[in-house]
Amino acid sequence: MKFTVNRNLFIDNLNNVMHAISSRTAIPILSGIKLNLSENELLLTGSDTEISIEIRIPVSEDLKVDSPGSIVLPARFFSEIIKRLPGKEFSLEVKESFQTQIVSENSEFTINGLDSNTYPRLPEIPDNSAFIISGKTFREIINETQFAVATQESRLVLTGVHFTFSPNKIHAVATDSHRLSSRALILDQGAQTETDLIIPGKSLLELARIIGETDPQIKVCPGENQVLFEIGNILFYSRLLEGSYPDTARLIPTESTTQVEFDLAELSSALDRASLLTHAGRNNVVDLTLDTEKQSAKLSGESAEIGNVEENVSFRKLTGSNLKISFNPDYLRDALRASVSDAVIMEFTQPLRPFTVNPNKTDIDFVQLITPVRTF
């Protein structure tokens, strides 16, 4: 196996494959990256069993093939070597006993590879139920929900985002049982039939990074226990979580007794200041006191070791009953970061009942739910 390739082109594709490489794996060969060279293209493959990424680099002026073949190379070392090579291009040649020589200008490395035949095969997913979605749309809906997935695996299904794809709509829900984020978007064209997928949050995070700031067309191919996303020359496989996702719609209150509309930037800044001290204490809790008679909103927090803080927060509108509620400020901060409008409407029922954070625009289907903290 031998080829010569443009180094920058190779690094761009290598960086994307590295999203699937884990430094901790029970299968030693998965700490490596597979290179499979044919007369027509070079395939780069990485996997950590949760996600797998395969990238195709076609033969061109930037990639010249001398002899086909395949090899598995230690991903971290290989990546660092390629990034530090001096030239605009490099050549790679596999010799006896899987020893691999990498040459660029005056630099020459020889590293030990592994037999590619021992590398696990990627699943074959038919595209008979595939559909196309905008990369920008999908990245947005990931960023607006993924942060709310559970990090503990005691309820594995909650470590994923529940997606429902239909011909004209995409709906995503994530919850860790303390907070919830539900986002729906209207599509010009979506799945031909309604498709439910529970995709691990970690997979979605890596997928969003690969999509980046561009707006590529993504082909979604659902399988039985895997889903395949095709983005240009990138094939991104993710396992699906099995089980029934809870019926989260019934958790969202349909009525409220107190409503307040905050400017997003004002509330975010005030929350950052109020939580400065609470983060230092054992109980990371901030209180919000709403007085509809005096038309005031106050954030407060305290740390037994350091002190306390109180701040009056300006608002656009406050109606309903007086209320004092305690909550984890990090949950609200995450909700505000995911907001898609310049103001939010928070709606409350009782001090110990979950409250919602909504955009101040009625045409946006986006609701976030936060469970308060009992302080007595």
> What confidence tens digit (pLDDT) does each residue in 72-117 have?
999 999 999 999 999 999 999 999 999 999 999 999 999 999 999 9
What pLDDT sits at residue 375?
Answer: 77
The average pLDDT across 28-43 equals 96
Domain 2-118 and domain 131-248 have a common topology: yes
- How confident is the prediction for the chain on average, in pLDDT? 93
CATH domain 131-248 topology: DNA Polymerase III; Chain A, domain 2 (3.10.150)
Query: Is 249 strand, coil or helix?
Result: helix
338-342 own/partner pairs: CB under 8 Å, 24+ apart: 338/143, 338/144, 338/145, 338/147, 338/181, 338/368, 339/264, 339/366, 340/140, 340/144, 340/364, 340/366, 341/264, 342/263, 342/264, 342/265
pLDDT of res. 376: 66
Q: What is the pLDDT of residue 221?
A: 94
- DSSP-assigned letter for residue 114: B
Neighbour count for residue 143 (Cβ, 10 Å): 16
User: Taking the model in full, what pTM does it have?
Assistant: 0.91
- What percent of the chain shows pLDDT beyond 90? 84
Q: Which residue has the higher pLDDT, 372 or 309?
A: 372
Least confident of 125-134, 220-229, 290-299: 125-134
182 exposure class (CB count in 10 Å sphere: 0-12, 13-18, 19+): buried
Residue 50 backbone phi and psi in degrees, to 5:
-75, -50
- How far apart (Å, rounded) are the C-alpha atoms in residues 372 and 376? 12
How many angstroms separate the most distant Cα atoms in the chain? 83
At residue 343, φ and ψ (nearest 5 deg) are -145, 150
CATH number of 2-118: 3.10.150.10
- pLDDT attached to residue 326: 96
Q: What is the mean pLDDT of residues 329-333?
A: 95
**Measured between alpha carbons, how far is residue 169 from residues 141, 148, 184, 196, 367 in Å?**
12, 21, 7, 12, 16
Cβ–Cβ contacts within 10 Å for residue 184, how many? 15
Return the domain boundaries, the chain.
Answer: 2-118, 131-248, 252-370
**pLDDT > 90? residue 153:** no
**Reported confidence tier of residue 307, pLDDT bands at 50, 70, 90:** confident
Give the per-residue pLDDT at 237: 97
CA 9 to chain centre: 25
Q: Hey, what are 36's tokens?
A: 């499979």
Classify each residue of 260-277 as buried b or exposed e, where b means 16 or more C-beta atoms within 10 Å of its C-beta. bbbbbeebbebbeebbeb
Cβ-based neighbours of 61, under 8 Å, separated by 6 or more: none
**CATH architecture type of domain 252-370:** Box (3.70)
Query: What mean pLDDT is predicted for residues 244-257?
Result: 93
Q: What are the angstrom distances between the C-alpha of 44 and each of 123, 210, 274?
A: 16, 15, 48
For the segment 180-216, what is each residue's pLDDT rounded down to a tens digit?
999 999 887 777 788 999 999 999 999 999 998 888 8
Residue % of the chain over a pLDDT of 70: 99
User: Would you say residue 128 has pLDDT above 80?
Assistant: yes
Token pair in block for residue 364: 């946006």
